[in-house]
Amino acid sequence: MPEIFQTAAASTLDAVVPQQMAFDTPLPLQSGKQLSAYQLTYETYGELNAARDNAVLVCHALNASHHVAGRYAGQPKSEGWWDNLIGPGKPIDTRRFFVIGVNNPGSCFGSTGPMHTNPDPAAGGRPYGADFPVMTVEDWVDAQARLLDRLGIEQLAAVVGGSLGGMQALSWALRFPDRLRHCVAIATAPNLSAQNIAFNEVARRAIITDPDFHGGHFYQHGVVPSRGLSVARMIGHITYLSDDVMDVKFGRSMKETAPSYSTQAIEFEIEGYLRHQGAKFSTYFDANTYLLITRALDYFDPARAFGGNLSAAFASARCRFLVASFTTDWRFSPARSRELVKALLDNRLPLSYAEIDAPHGHDAFLLDDARYHGVLRAYFDNVARERVASGARHV
Amino acid sequence: MPEIFQTAAASTLDAVVPQQMAFDTPLPLQSGKQLSAYQLTYETYGELNAARDNAVLVCHALNASHHVAGRYAGQPKSEGWWDNLIGPGKPIDTRRFFVIGVNNPGSCFGSTGPMHTNPDPAAGGRPYGADFPVMTVEDWVDAQARLLDRLGIEQLAAVVGGSLGGMQALSWALRFPDRLRHCVAIATAPNLSAQNIAFNEVARRAIITDPDFHGGHFYQHGVVPSRGLSVARMIGHITYLSDDVMDVKFGRSMKETAPSYSTQAIEFEIEGYLRHQGAKFSTYFDANTYLLITRALDYFDPARAFGGNLSAAFASARCRFLVASFTTDWRFSPARSRELVKALLDNRLPLSYAEIDAPHGHDAFLLDDARYHGVLRAYFDNVARERVASGARHV
């Protein structure tokens, strides 16, 4: 029976269930260290076809998780972070694709991370804390590849990610050129600029210098460096939004009609918003994870091993690419995506590039923007058609 | 004897001496409170002429002071913060102009501020700390006007400032329209954007949540909230520089040839630079002053009393204007200066506007850029000529 390509009413998957996979073989890391026995938390949506060639891996960014789409049973507001994009009838249509979301090791949403028990006998059964090994984008990709091995997926239809997730998608194209047919890299960059690193460093300093951080071993003290985490999150939020959208959403609106002339009270709406976001974040996000993930962002730089030549770095890639950027994204600006496009063109790699006029800054990659979703829908329609047209050519 | 307008070799003034002026009459503030007996620290360069009409007031920004130009005796490296612009033979030529730099009250470089003794008997002889009254740009301008009264200066040739100093210059044009002939507002804005306020708020939260802040009364505890001040300064530094100049100066240069794979070590040059700037700042800048001055920035909004109509706000202005902005300044972008220009044009006020192509971001207003200094030199040459041409018309 032929697949149906018309756009049906989109719906959200219900009763999604996170799964665990344990790995006994240590994972060798870029740092020369290794991650001992570990487990990954992941979710899947849709069904793996008989040819096992319709899988799409979704890579998460800083503060997201394996919970990409759908809802948990009995939790009507538990939609995954990319639920607007992934599901039945959505741009990445789970009636055609078997979509996989995986929490990266070092994160704090289920996969082995700093708050888990350090298996080193010298740690005396305490959590890893600051001793969790520093992981890179490449390490995460290696961990994801092992998960696919276990799921029996030799080749992915696509790897998709935005921001740090986009870096993982790019890294897939370089580390496992034959294991993906499409790389979809959204709102990302071939490396961080000095300004990007600078913002990460300020956020890290806020966390590390919080007396409740205790050198990264705060778990034993029954505290959390919530002041530092809040400040880190506030900085993040500023860089996720465009200047314009902040002016539209908050502008100079004040909480009261007249100023209270206080340095400590919430005077402007934007202050209340940021404080709320910071406080909320500090209740659920792990401080060591924040450090690890920002460091992975800093380190990512595939051109580094090629003397800074990004085109040389992409000489090993063989898949097709969709690169997308947003006009108002000043964290990962379109100029950075164009660097990627140039490197891909230099290698005559098949590619589509969309520079999307959207007001929301970096956050746009998470939002339900019609032009953006239109681009992804069209691209994934083609990915699906191509698979049908070629039969089971990749199994 | 006619004045000489040729450009002589510029030199730096030596043996500059800061002066103090005490005020017994309380200063009424925008908040409804008042600043009790206070003193101002100031410096002057050049000589006040017989007509007393060649004075130029320089207003300082967040972390600067009255020490605008020249050096202190025996301190060869003590040049004032705008010494490249102000001195004999420089764009603001102290052979023609009597230049005044004044430290604003609430600051921490000599004028009465949070670390001075609170005269309120209830304070028991302790420093003001967090009880220092919140001051606005308008309050500072009022304090500056009182200083000029005491110096016997009825009308200034010009008020000059960059960034927050530019806001003070603008406020002079609105509060004392007859007391200045020229307003020179550089790298400034008619108010802060939501993003600007957001960065200020993050910096303040870093300071206020530092346990060593002690609610602003840290002086009695013999500590300084240096962690918070460092983070605040690091954030500031990122916003002072353009993305491009950061990439040129630091890029992704690493401290060592190979990464150390650490979340806490200094891995990239930009990290070392920011940490150094933060640590240095926390040794000399007062935390309460940081809060007060960022709040003054937040509050400045002359259009607010006119329902947001900036043109209506400037209806009272009578002086001539030089507005200057820098192409790569994303903290106070050229677009914000153009808002000012529009409001001035709406009022048919005489104005020059220079949008200067400079790579350095907001910091450009402090730097010795040839195009920028050329604009100021030409403008102040005209200010001097106009005075000569009109004789002592303003006394």
pLDDT band with cut points at 50, 70 and 90 for residue A179? very high
Chain B residues close to A192, C-beta within 8 Å: 252
What pTM did the predictor assign? 0.95
CA angle B72, B73, B74 (to 5 degrees): 110
User: Catalytic: which of B107, B163, B171, B325?
Assistant: B163
CB-based burial label for A24 (10 Å; 0-12, 13-18, 19+): exposed
Rounded CA separation B225/B139 (Å): 27
pLDDT band with cut points at 50, 70 and 90 for residue A393? very low
Q: Is the pLDDT of residue B104 over 80?
A: yes
Q: Is the pLDDT of residue A14 over 60?
A: yes
How far apart are the CA of B11 and the nearest CA of chain A, in angstroms? Answer: 36
pLDDT, residue B389, reads 64
CA distance readout (Å), B43 to A224, B56, B80, B99, B175: 48, 12, 10, 8, 23
> Could you say which of A134, A195, A263 has the minimum Cβ distance to residue B238?
A195
pLDDT, residue A161, reads 98
Which of these, A239, A62, A42, lies nearest to A137 by C-alpha position?
Answer: A62
Rounded CA separation B281/B98 (Å): 31
CA distance readout (Å), B194 to A33, A212, A327, B191, B242: 44, 30, 19, 10, 19
> Could you say which of A211, A249, A263 has the minimum Cβ distance to residue B211?
A211
Task: Please name the residue of chain B whose CA is at the shortest distance from the CA of residue A287.
Answer: B263
User: What ipTM, to 2 d.p.?
Assistant: 0.94
**Interchain proximity A31–B261, CB inside 8 Å:** yes
**Interchain proximity A193–B243, CB inside 8 Å:** yes
Contact B171, B138 (CB under 8 A): yes
pLDDT digits (tens, 9 = 90+) for B135-187: 999 999 999 999 999 999 999 999 999 999 999 999 999 999 999 999 999 99
Q: Which two tokens stand for residue A249?
A: 């959403």
pLDDT digits (tens, 9 = 90+) for A138-155: 999 999 999 999 999 999
pLDDT band with cut points at 50, 70 and 90 for residue A71? very high
Which of these, A20, A23, A47, lies nearest to A34 by C-alpha position?
Answer: A23
Rounded CA separation B233/B132 (Å): 22
Chain B residues close to A195, C-beta within 8 Å: 238, 241, 243, 246-247
